[in-house]
Structure 1
Amino acid sequence: MTASTGRDDAAIGEIERRVLWLSTAIIDAANRRGDPSGLKVGGHQASSASLVTIMTTLWFEHLRAGDRVSVKPHASPVLHAINYLLGELDESYLPTLRAFGGLQSYPSRSKDPDPVDYSTGSVGIGATAPIWGAVARRYVDSHFGGAGEGRQYSLVGDAELDEGAVWEAILDPMVGELGEVVWVVDLNRQSLDRVVPNIGAPRIEGMFAAAGWQVLTVKYGRLLHELFARPGGEALRERIDGMPNPEYQRLLRCDAAEVRKRLPDGAPGVAQLVDGLDDATLLAAVRNLGGHDPAALGEAFEAIDDSRPTVILAYTVKGHGLATAGHPQNHGSLLSAEQMSELAGTVGADVDDPWRRFDPASPPGRLCAETAGRLRRAAPVPEPAPAVPTDIGRTPTGRATTQAALGRALLDLTREAPDAAGRVVTLCPDVSSSTNLGGWVNKVGVWSTAERRDWFDDDPETILHWRERPTGQHLELGIAEGNLVGALGELGATWSRWGSPVLPIGVLYDPFVERALEPWSFGIYAGGQSILVGTPSGVSLAPEGGAHQSITTPSVGLEQPGCVTYEPAFAIDVEWTLLASLARLGRPDGTSAYLRLSTRPVDQSLAAVPADPAARERRRRQVVAGAYPLRRADGPPSVTIAAMGPLLTEALAAADRLAELGHEADVVCVTAPGLLFDAVQARAGRPARPQAEPWVLDSVFPARRAAPLVTLLDGHPHTLAFLAGINRVPATHLGVTRFGQSGDLASVYAHHGLDADAVVGAALDLL
């Protein structure tokens, strides 16, 4: 036992070797199991091996119960191996990696059977998630308490630093205050296909340092440091420091004789030092990097400065301890049966009894039990999500935009349902005023870790007041959509982490929603429930032209699991769909929502909101279920016009003109095409999301009123094309299929065939 630290080196070493074996055997068993189709099962033995020492040292010496760790995706078998040794995973799961119902290919909070703090697997998202997890924990603690303390660790592969979203997160001004954030970079200098020639650790150090992070580098282990202190040692250090990455990696594949020949390379004193080492010591020295030395890693963990974020750059060998160590193509390679037997002999495992645990009375067995007790967390006691009203009761008048209706609905919520409003947090990437959130921000304030003075609070010309305090309910990040939805996902997971639900709403420009979709989707997969609002949208922002138009976002709700998409046409639709979406957040059976809003002013009287309370409630239910009849022909219709969003104005104008021509039309306002599609699936007995309401189909598209169909939306026409199949009618689908150009609204609509002329012409063609 080391006297200075209390660390039992022998026990830690045994656990490290057992974790190496288990993680390698988990992948081996998966591939021996095979796939009946012949599909490769896969797995990453080398990527796991490079993190074994880091994770063993972290879990068994430094981690605390309140800490949370995001594990490099390809090292998921290491996490499962550690959880198994800690008694958190049943042995029956160990052979099930990548099997149906078994261990997932990458760590998953929602699908793995053992504790996983962060879902990873999409490059850059798992790495940055603990940053937003730290923000979410601080937000919950400052508003409601009970979130505790703890560091937020990211175990990151060096190749993952190529992802731009990583640096967007690191550079956000908010991140520099998060001292609980700790990244450990597995610096093995390899990617999937090769040894990266110019990975440049000093450059990485400089980039983190420039962002205000504490940078700790763990490059060499104890053996090399001892050799550096001998005669010729400084020259040896300079030789290793100076050699290119591929040259160093090649040394790892050489025998002792070849290392003696290659390593000195004419450097004075190196040959003499190397000649004085036996073969075993020489080969061990070449591999003695800091990321495989528990003592060196421990010193780095102890040196963490909790006043700012920290990155530990840990030099490692990809495949450390395996026969494939250091090979440039070892990323997806698998050990042979013979190599597995050799590994078992080296680490003290048994091929015939691969899952054997330590004797509980042995030093490593006792350390496993002690660690399990230290890291055990009490399950969060879920607090019920606040009650959200279904209808605030106002009936908007005049001309208004759906974008402006969002801010008005949030303000109304603070008066009508303060408990629910108190759980709402809004996020923007520097577009609060241009997305009509100014009134809300003025009302609730901006969240900050500490109160800051608003130097413009006495300026009479200042409209948006930026009052920053820990009780604020609005977060503004830089212009980086990945950061926005990363924070959105973690704020949307507080109900499961700490039992404290938050209702997060992220607002960004709809043209940039696609940029955010992948990380937002991954956040939903990981259990984050949130509302994403895209505004302004479509070609309806006419003067902005093709540079700022969105075409495919209306179909998000058709294609994104765990999400309901609404495109309201009127202000009252915004209120109802927003309230319904808020009511689905912060609960085990909850779901996310996407609202697509517009800056086009629309006459609110066109909504024809029923005055009778029962009829109004029926309209509300239809709006939330996906569609409602806005106008019915007196008799059987000649044509049905189904439209979305601001184009209801054109649909109604076309219906008036068709009536003058003797062709009465039904006009249907579609609010959620995804829910309508699911209603079609559910009615046919096929899988559909639970929010689907099959009754809405008979309510809005009754068979007795079946007629040729024209669909219309400010987006790609395929979004509504399935509606023709409800009653099997001939149909024409109008929408946007090409890049636009700047202009006035009438000209732009005419250019894309969205105006009343286009609708009338399409209807007459069908008739």
Structure 2
Amino acid sequence: MSTATDAPQSPADDRDALGEIERRVLWLSTAIIDAANRRGDPSGLKVGGHQASSASMVTIMTTLWFEHLRAGDRVSVKPHASPVLHAINYLLGELDESYLPTLRAFGGLQSYPSRSKDPDPVDYSTGSVGIGATAPIWGALARRYVASRFGDDAQGRQYSLVGDAELDEGAVWEAILDPMVGELGEVVWIVDLNRQSLDRVVPKIGTPRIEGMFRAAGWQVLTVKYGRLLHELFARPGGDALRARIDGMPNPEYQRLLRCDAAEVRTRLPDVGPGGDGAALAGLVEGLDDDTLLAAVRNLGGHDPAALGEALDGIDDSRPTVILAYTVKGHGLATAGHPQNHGSILTADQMGELAATVGADPDGPWQRFGSDTAAGALCAATARRLRREAPETDPVPALPRDIGRTPTGRATTQAALGRALLDLTREAPDAAGRVVTLCPDVSSSTNLGGWVNKVGVWSTAERKDWFDDDPETILHWRERPTGQHLELGIAEGNLVGALGELGATWSRWGRPLLPIGVLYDPFVERALEPWAFGIYAGGQSILVGTPSGVSLAPEGGAHQSITTPSVGLEQPGCVTYEPAFAIDVEWTLLASLARLGRPDGTSAYLRLSTRPVDQSLAAVPADPAARERRRRQVVAGAYPLRRADTERPDLTIAAAGPLLTEALDAADRLAVLGHAVDVVGVTSPGLLFGAVQSRTGRPAAPQVEPWVLESAFPARRASPLVTLLDGHPHTLAFLAGINRVPATHLGVTRFGQSGDLASVYAHHGLDADAVVGAALDLL
């Protein structure tokens, strides 16, 4: 891998031009926010923006873009610095001027960097604190996986520009501590260490502790604390006292100095207290003019291009690196260092003062540099250096719609997942070669053992399996660069972070993958935010939650998921399935895989169970045409499993997942009582709801098939309805509105208990007795 020192240098390494660009970026980023707030919102709602948070990043981003970045590098920009990114893209010719006044406007620049919605180049979507910061880690992992699988030689660093307050997020440390991350030398974090959060100056930022945590995780730590002016002053008589004073100063006291005039600084700075060399420091301060003194107080390393450049040139590419860059929040603005500057907006007078300071024109705020200027030449050279060609995307190999087996005996939907993946390796090896599975240390307990044994575990280098010759070892852990399974630690956020980036390789490098993440369904909600954010950013993947519901009865309430069916129904960019039978798993999995790795693709969530079910109950048609019709119904969201031999039934039972068995049992018992019952298997509440919305003329996703409503719930057979699932009952409650029938909805609304399956089902009112009772009440 090449290093930062290989990056082409700017023409004549023109520091003056770089300084001019830095001042213009400060102006543009501030003016973008100013224009948004002057535009206002007719409702009176605050538009917002973060001028101070942007200003603290200006030097860092200008130095990085105009001196060190290469075309193969990717950068995740901290959410509140999005105007700086847009300002840089504008100067590089990557953003039209018409967008600059549109921050936070409908159809304009997004509030935070968005890879899928902003009009200019954005490498990583950010905005959900901690998730954007860690995304380049998983981007680096995905790039390495693609390189090892397809022989690509794509290179480049993965940068994260992180606010220091963002380090409070647990997701950050979960990612840093994963053993796999310590091998990713292309990962570079630059922390904007401005020591302020939204509400206050952080009193104890604990920089040495942060350094120690990164070092303990195997990272290289580079600290950029002071700029050239302070280093020059440290070398003078009294300089040691000045360094000791600043180093020992609490954060709030330092921030208060930033708000002082020169006279106040002369009084406050030499006040070193007992044991300090106040006389030497007073002598040094006395010899400085006012401008130099005020500049020295603000001369932190994060605002010194030379100091930042030295750190960037010193990166060790054999391990991840973090650069802790000390900055002033609001640097260069009238609000610099104020404890409440986070969301403050400069006044018109303050904007005028800023324009005069940086050489901008408030009446023509969007000026670029002329091509005949040194700054213009540097912008043009940087644009050429960073220009990327759009990748040609490989087509996803053809996937079968039906492998053709008809499962028999008793099986679980969880086990059916592993079986379907193994069948895919035989029926469609090219497509199976694009599949990559991920687990947070639950491969064996989620029935992926056979798949893992077949395809191996991915690793950057081949590692010896010391248990390969142990006859009692069932799961063989063969690690090699050709493996297709990634095992992460027990951190669901890491799993779905990697899942999102593996699901974005089709758009980043033209290499579509078919990523499947498998985790315990009770922890889907823990992983939901980063997974949802990955979908928002363009990552397409399949999330499998298993085992699910109270059907894993002995595990007790802590491991019984209740709300995940509705979570899946409501997640944008995702199709949710809860299959009842092994054949349903195969069909929905293949359909979900076929939707991945393409511009119009979509993600999927499969909710599976460990409850063994008699597969003959699926009544899969033997006739090929009838079988294909059933497959289409399963994939579209619902299918009629049993039709009563009557023109209109007395009752319809619609059930999802393993509780379809209770529905069939109840239907048999009701038939004995003289009631004709239809039974409908629901595989996707979300697709059915989309079909209902489509029927009323509302927009629906492309995968929604409106015909499925008449197929599963024909108006001519409309009857009172009982819905049933191993989750919250409101998930299926909308089905009563299809034909406007009276209904009762059964499901789980309480925390569960441990016990045998019959006892747990009876406790929650999910057993056949409860279904029969609800039916008789309706009838």
Q: Partner of 2:221: helix, strand, or coil?
A: strand
Q: 2:19 is matched with which residue?
A: 13
- Cα distance, 1:5 vs. partner? 11
CA distance, structure 1, for counterparts of residue 188 and residue 409 of structure 2: 53
CA distance, structure 2, for counterparts of residue 525 and residue 5 of structure 1: 39
Q: Deviations over 1:536-565 (max 9, x none)?
A: 000000000101010000112321100000
Q: 2:738 is matched with which residue?
A: 726
User: Which range is displaced more, 4-13 or 338-347?
Assistant: 4-13
- Cα distance, 1:385 vs. partner? 1.5
CA distance, structure 1, for counterparts of residue 397 and residue 516 of structure 2: 15
8 Å CA contact 2:139–2:498 kept in 1: the answer is yes
For residue 708 of structure 1, the aligned residue among 700, 711, 720 is 720
8 Å CA contact 2:613–2:658 kept in 1: the answer is yes
8 Å CA contact 2:579–2:683 kept in 1: the answer is yes
- Cα distance, 1:382 vs. partner? 1.2
- Cα distance, 1:339 vs. partner? 0.4
- Cα distance, 1:402 vs. partner? 0.1
- Cα distance, 1:7 vs. partner? 2.4
CA distance, structure 2, for counterparts of residue 629 and residue 562 of structure 1: 27
CA distance, structure 1, for counterparts of residue 153 and residue 495 of structure 2: 22
Q: Deviations over 1:24-77 (max 9, x none)?
A: 000000111111111111000000000000000000000000000000000000
Q: Partner of 2:213: helix, strand, or coil?
A: helix
Q: Partner of 1:723: helix, strand, or coil?
A: helix
User: Which range is displaced more, 682-691 or 204-213?
Assistant: 682-691
- Cα distance, 1:690 vs. partner? 1.5
Q: Partner of 2:12: helix, strand, or coil?
A: coil
**Is 1:653 paired with 2:659?**
no
8 Å CA contact 1:557–1:672 kept in 2: the answer is no
CA distance, structure 1, for counterparts of residue 450 and residue 568 of structure 2: 29
8 Å CA contact 2:461–2:479 kept in 1: the answer is yes
- Cα distance, 1:711 vs. partner? 0.3
Q: Partner of 1:520: helix, strand, or coil?
A: helix
CA distance, structure 1, for counterparts of residue 221 and residue 418 of structure 2: 42
Q: Deviations over 1:629-657 (max 9, x none)?
A: 111100xx110000010001110000000
| Alpha-carbon spacing, 1:592–1:147, altered in 2? closer, same or farther (3 Å) | farther
- Cα distance, 1:147 vs. partner? 5.6
Q: Partner of 2:597: helix, strand, or coil?
A: coil
CA-based RMSD of the aligned residues comes to: 0.9
CA distance, structure 2, for counterparts of residue 361 and residue 303 of structure 1: 33
- Cα distance, 1:93 vs. partner? 0.5
Q: Deviations over 1:308-336 (max 9, x none)?
A: 00000000000000000000000000000
Q: 2:214 is matched with which residue?
A: 208
CA distance, structure 1, for counterparts of residue 552 and residue 141 of structure 2: 34
Q: Deviations over 1:282-322 (max 9, x none)?
A: 00000000000000000000000000000000000000000
Q: Deviations over 1:392-416 (max 9, x none)?
A: 0000000000000000000000000
Q: Deviations over 1:500-544 (max 9, x none)?
A: 100000000000000001110000000000000000000000000
- Cα distance, 1:482 vs. partner? 0.4
Q: Partner of 2:749: helix, strand, or coil?
A: coil
CA distance, structure 2, for counterparts of residue 514 and residue 555 of structure 1: 11
8 Å CA contact 1:538–1:714 kept in 2: the answer is yes
- Cα distance, 1:597 vs. partner? 0.2
Q: 2:155 is matched with which residue?
A: 149
CA distance, structure 2, for counterparts of residue 259 and residue 300 of structure 1: 30
CA distance, structure 1, for counterparts of residue 769 and residue 135 of structure 2: 49
8 Å CA contact 1:70–1:127 kept in 2: the answer is yes
8 Å CA contact 1:177–1:307 kept in 2: the answer is yes
**Is 1:218 paired with 2:224?**
yes
Q: 2:101 is matched with which residue?
A: 95
CA distance, structure 1, for counterparts of residue 712 and residue 363 of structure 2: 65
8 Å CA contact 1:147–1:498 kept in 2: the answer is no
8 Å CA contact 1:630–1:669 kept in 2: the answer is yes
CA distance, structure 2, for counterparts of residue 674 and residue 720 of structure 1: 9
8 Å CA contact 1:556–1:565 kept in 2: the answer is no
8 Å CA contact 1:140–1:147 kept in 2: the answer is no
8 Å CA contact 1:565–1:674 kept in 2: the answer is yes
CA distance, structure 2, for counterparts of residue 432 and residue 115 of structure 1: 37
CA distance, structure 2, for counterparts of residue 349 and residue 556 of structure 1: 50
User: Which range is displaced more, 201-210 or 685-694?
Assistant: 685-694
- Cα distance, 1:693 vs. partner? 0.6
**Is 1:743 paired with 2:744?**
no
User: Which range is displaced more, 380-389 or 697-706?
Assistant: 380-389
Q: Partner of 2:550: helix, strand, or coil?
A: helix
- Cα distance, 1:588 vs. partner? 0.2
CA distance, structure 2, for counterparts of residue 250 and residue 388 of structure 1: 64
- Cα distance, 1:145 vs. partner? 3.0
- Cα distance, 1:6 vs. partner? 5.1
CA distance, structure 2, for counterparts of residue 534 and residue 745 of structure 1: 20
Q: 1:305 is matched with which residue?
A: 316
- Cα distance, 1:146 vs. partner? 3.2
CA distance, structure 1, for counterparts of residue 398 and residue 37 of structure 2: 49
CA distance, structure 1, for counterparts of residue 397 and residue 311 of structure 2: 44
CA distance, structure 1, for counterparts of residue 681 and residue 568 of structure 2: 16
Q: Deviations over 1:323-360 (max 9, x none)?
A: 00000000000000000000000000000010011011
CA distance, structure 2, for counterparts of residue 693 and residue 144 of structure 1: 36
Q: Deviations over 1:166-207 (max 9, x none)?
A: 000000000000000000000000000000000111110000
Q: 2:119 is matched with which residue?
A: 113
Q: Could you list the runs of 5+ residues in structure 2 that have no partner in the other structure?
A: 1-9, 272-277
| Alpha-carbon spacing, 1:303–1:424, altered in 2? closer, same or farther (3 Å) | same
Q: Deviations over 1:192-224 (max 9, x none)?
A: 000000011111000000000000000000000
CA distance, structure 2, for counterparts of residue 454 and residue 264 of structure 1: 64
CA distance, structure 1, for counterparts of residue 399 and residue 117 of structure 2: 29
Superposed, which structure 2 residues align to 1:509-520 within 5 Å? 509-520=520-531
User: Which range is displaced more, 686-695 or 324-333?
Assistant: 686-695
- Cα distance, 1:274 vs. partner? 0.4
CA distance, structure 2, for counterparts of residue 608 and residue 13 of structure 1: 74
Q: 2:37 is matched with which residue?
A: 31
| Alpha-carbon spacing, 1:239–1:5, altered in 2? closer, same or farther (3 Å) | farther
8 Å CA contact 2:554–2:755 kept in 1: the answer is yes
User: Which range is displaced more, 393-402 or 146-155?
Assistant: 146-155
Q: 1:362 is matched with which residue?
A: 373
Which TM-score applies when normalising by structure 1? 0.99
8 Å CA contact 1:390–1:576 kept in 2: the answer is yes
- Cα distance, 1:387 vs. partner? 1.2
Q: 1:233 is matched with which residue?
A: 239
For residue 346 of structure 2, the aligned residue among 294, 315, 335 is 335
CA distance, structure 1, for counterparts of residue 269 and residue 14 of structure 2: 34
8 Å CA contact 1:454–1:466 kept in 2: the answer is yes
8 Å CA contact 1:137–1:147 kept in 2: the answer is no
CA distance, structure 2, for counterparts of residue 273 and residue 460 of structure 1: 76
Q: Deviations over 1:562-604 (max 9, x none)?
A: 0000000000000000000000000000000000000000000
8 Å CA contact 1:138–1:147 kept in 2: the answer is no
Q: Partner of 1:30: helix, strand, or coil?
A: helix
CA distance, structure 2, for counterparts of residue 237 and residue 557 of structure 1: 56
Q: Partner of 1:667: helix, strand, or coil?
A: strand
CA distance, structure 2, for counterparts of residue 5 and residue 152 of structure 1: 25
User: Which range is displaced more, 574-583 or 136-145?
Assistant: 136-145
8 Å CA contact 2:199–2:342 kept in 1: the answer is yes
8 Å CA contact 1:510–1:536 kept in 2: the answer is yes
- Cα distance, 1:749 vs. partner? 0.1
8 Å CA contact 2:11–2:378 kept in 1: the answer is no
CA distance, structure 2, for counterparts of residue 15 and residue 38 of structure 1: 35
User: Which range is displaced more, 384-393 or 669-678?
Assistant: 384-393
Q: 2:358 is matched with which residue?
A: 347
Q: Percent identity?
A: 90
CA distance, structure 2, for counterparts of residue 588 and residue 449 of structure 1: 29
8 Å CA contact 1:534–1:596 kept in 2: the answer is yes
Q: Partner of 1:540: helix, strand, or coil?
A: coil
Which TM-score applies when normalising by structure 2? 0.97
8 Å CA contact 2:262–2:293 kept in 1: the answer is yes
CA distance, structure 2, for counterparts of residue 641 and residue 490 of structure 1: 41
Q: 2:704 is matched with which residue?
A: 692
- Cα distance, 1:384 vs. partner? 1.1
User: Which range is displaced more, 378-387 or 519-528?
Assistant: 378-387
8 Å CA contact 1:503–1:586 kept in 2: the answer is yes
8 Å CA contact 1:647–1:713 kept in 2: the answer is yes
- Cα distance, 1:689 vs. partner? 1.5
